[in-house]
Amino acid sequence: GAVVSQHPSWVICKSGTSVKIECRSLDFQATTMFWYRQFPKQSLMLMATSNEGSKATYEQGVEKDKFLINHASLTLSTLTVTSAHPEDSSFYICSASPSGRGETQYFGPGTRLLVL
Amino acid sequence: KNEVEQSPQNLTAQEGEFITINCSYSVGISALHWLQQHPGGGIVSLFMLSSGKKKHGRLIATINIQEKHSSLHITASHPRDSAVYICAVRLGGGADGLTFGKGTHLIIQP
């Protein structure tokens, strides 16, 4: 089946630093990638939809200047958490859709971020 | 705002039991996903359906579009089925991202 990787799998950083998370589709081209966030004991929440070659679409309440998304190629999307704060500590998961319409989504293994 | 409600929130059963997890949603959707999340956090997509019924091994998923309801069944449950099962919907009208339920924490005891 289709494989999506994320790197790093976990990261600990100091408050105020920026953290970049990569999401790659390994064996298919993904015109659309999605970024989700999950706080402890809560459901996953869509943060943004990323289309290759265009600006990401952010969900209400997600700061686009804080969570920078770049989808420069059909196999790679990156999420950069800028000036991270402890409240940004969460589990970040990406998914990729080969069809471009989100009907089939393959999930990455997730990245645990802890901001001290 | 679409709400995705799952029940039960927690379920503990004995190995071999037939398991049913329910999902209800409040607005029109174009597709519904059942996902499995293991303790490490990784998510596996089990089913995507927009009508009827799908079966994969011991797992069966059904959806009733008119009633806005879906069920996930596990037959002959096994301890390795222990995980969080999440219902997620893709709204109609071109929105692609998923809206998730809170998940059902399933424990199968040997």
Q: Are B86 and B34 in contact (CB under 8 A)?
A: yes
CB-closest option in A43, A105, A110 to B45: A105
Measured between alpha carbons, how far is A23 from B107 in angstroms, rounded to an integer? Answer: 31
User: Is B31 an 8 Å CB contact of chain A?
Assistant: yes
Query: B97 vs chain A: nearest CA distance in angstroms?
Result: 6
Asked if the model's pLDDT at residue A2 lies above 80, the reply is: no
Kindly report the three-state secondary structure assignment for every residue of A72-93.
EECCEEEEEECCCCHHHCEEEE
* Radius of gyration over every alpha carbon of chain A, rounded to an integer in angstroms: 13
Measured between alpha carbons, how far is B6 from B107 in angstroms, rounded to an integer? Answer: 16
Sort out which chain A residues have CB atoms less than 8 A from B86's CB and list them: 43-44
Omega prior to B8 cis, within 30 of 0: yes
Omega prior to A86 cis, within 30 of 0: no
pLDDT tens-digit readout, A13-61: 999 999 999 999 998 888 889 999 999 888 899 999 988 888 899 999 9
Question: What share of chain B in percent tops pLDDT 90?
Answer: 75
Structure tokens at B46: 């089990």
Are the beta carbons of A103 and B98 separated by less than 8 Å? no
Closest Cα to residue A37, out of A112, A98, A96? A112
Q: Are A15 and A113 in contact (CB under 8 A)?
A: no
Nearest CA in chain A to B93: A101
Q: What pLDDT, on a 0 to 100 scale, did the predictor assign at position A101?
A: 54
Asked if the model's pLDDT at residue A100 lies above 70, the reply is: no
pLDDT tens-digit readout, B27-73: 888 889 999 998 888 889 999 998 999 999 999 999 999 999 999 99
User: Is B35 an 8 Å CB contact of chain A?
Assistant: yes
Measured between alpha carbons, how far is A101 from B97 in angstroms, rounded to an integer? Answer: 9
User: Is B44 an 8 Å CB contact of chain A?
Assistant: yes
Asked if the model's pLDDT at residue A65 lies above 90, the reply is: yes
Q: Rounded to a whole number, what is the largest CA-CA distance in chain A?
A: 39
Residue B54 or residue A1, greater confidence: B54
